[in-house]
Amino acid sequence: MHFELKTFEDLVNRELYQILQLRAEVFVVEQNCPYQDLDGKDMQALHLLLWNQDRLIGYTRILKKGISYPNHISIGRVVTSPSVRGKGFGKNLMKKSIQACFETYGDTPIKISAQYHLQKFYKEFGFKSIGDQYLEDNIPHIAMVKCNYQ
């Protein structure tokens, strides 16, 4: 298992294909949620890839302040392959994503739009729920913020 953090320009075709394939497998097919995944933000993002040999098993998209939220960095498109769930890869992926945010963008708060049923998972990393539940792509979500690296 190893991580790679890349800009959009540094991704090779095979990597981009695997990212889009994994996002579609989980967000569109598994969650039965047709939505516009290609939202124009990938080109401005850092892409954290979690590999098991040559197979992509986890991924997050990190966006600097001002792209998704005016005053926050954002971690989004958090996804692990169904074949590796329950083995701690998701936790490692989030730890590494948070680390990458603070190392790259400094001490700027991180905001996420979390699926409502995953609040407990994100609270383990210091995220706090803010505001009310809302629907995003017909799935209940809640905004969550983490203010420091600790």
Domain ranges of the chain: 2-108
What's this model's pTM, rounded to 2 decimal places?
0.94
| CB-count exposure of residue 133 (10 Å: 0-12, 13-18, 19+) | exposed
Predicted confidence at residue 93, as pLDDT, reads 97
Tell me if residue 73 falls in helix, strand or coil. strand
Q: What is the pLDDT of residues 37-85, one digit of tens each?
A: 899 999 999 999 999 999 999 999 999 999 999 999 999 999 999 999 9
Domain boundaries 2-108, CATH class: alpha beta
Pairing of strands 139-146, 128-136: antiparallel
Question: Which band of pLDDT confidence, cut at 50, 70 and 90, is reported for residue 116?
Answer: very high
Predicted confidence at residue 150, as pLDDT, reads 63
* Mean pLDDT across the chain: 95
The predicted model gives 98-126 an average pLDDT of: 95
